[in-house]
Amino acid sequence: MDKRLLLHICCAPDACVPIPDLLAEGWEVHGFFYGSNIHPLDEYARRLEAVRFISSHNAIPCSVPDYSPEEWLALVHGLEHEPEGGRRCERCFRIQLEAAAREAVRLGCEYMSTTLTISPHKNVALINEIGGEVSRSHGLKWEARIWRKNNGFLRSVRLSRELGLYRQNYCGCVFSVRKDA
């Protein structure tokens, strides 16, 4: 198999299992880290550094667009007070996957997937539904995975500890910053 897949990477700990698993299956993997949802800048920089590390550790390329938090805030305008897991997060997944799809088309990838489904806190059915819609609208094929299955999340916790990866304690945006963090 020699199929090109763009893997949307939400963060390095969530990517440390999907990347090697996809490579072992024979996929040609190209990473993509959106990042403009992350607040503040120094948190973005820490997460980006970890994403660059996990990409080079697995010898895959990774695209990183410019950091534009104002653009992300404008796109979620009106949804600021939504609870975590609500409509703002649905919009956020779509924003990230739309950006990933544009990059997949630019790079000539045929397939797309995301690391988001390794999280035990996220609605994986919704993520795969949005991924499928976004992929189809860009002429791509969605590789629907639920990475948290088969102890995926536990493997990611163990592996990210072994690799010394930075593990954040909140999802990412200004609205998800823990008050006690």
Q: Point out which span in 14-22, 85-93, 104-112, 150-158 binds ligand SF4 (CB under 6 A).
A: 85-93
Nearest to ligand SF4 of 37, 109 (CB atom): 37
**Is residue 58 close enough to count as binding ligand SF4 by CB under 6 A?**
no
- Give the range of 23-31, 60-68, 150-158, 169-177 binding ligand SF4 by CB under 6 A: 169-177
Say whether residue 172 binds ligand SF4 (CB under 6 A).
Answer: yes
Query: CA–CA distance from 58 to each of 41, 101, 111, 115, 133 (Å)?
Result: 26, 22, 19, 15, 29
The interface with ligand SF4 within residues 87-146 (CB under 6 A) comprises: 88-89, 92
Q: For every residue of the chain, which 3-state class applies, written as one string?
A: CCCEEEEECCCHHHHCCHHHHHHHHCCEEEEECCCCCCCCHHHHHHHHHHHHHHHHHCCCCEECCCCCHHHHHHHCCCCCCCCCCCHHHHHHHHHHHHHHHHHHHHHCCCEEEECHHHCCCCCHHHHHHHHHHHHHHCCCEECCCCCCCCCHHHHHHHHHHHCCCCCCCCCCCHHHCCCCC
Q: 51 vs 92, which CB is nearer to ligand SF4?
A: 92
Report if residue 17 touches ligand SF4, rule: CB under 6 A: no
Q: Which of 25, 71, 80, 84 binds ligand SF4 (CB under 6 A)?
A: 84
168 touches ligand SF4 by CB under 6 A: no
* 171 scored as a contact of ligand SF4 (CB under 6 A): yes
The residue among 104 and 173 lying less far from ligand SF4, judged by its C-beta, is 173
Residue 54 vs 92, nearer CB to ligand SF4: 92
Which residues form the interface with ligand SF4 (CB under 6 A)? 37, 84, 88-89, 92, 171-173, 175-176
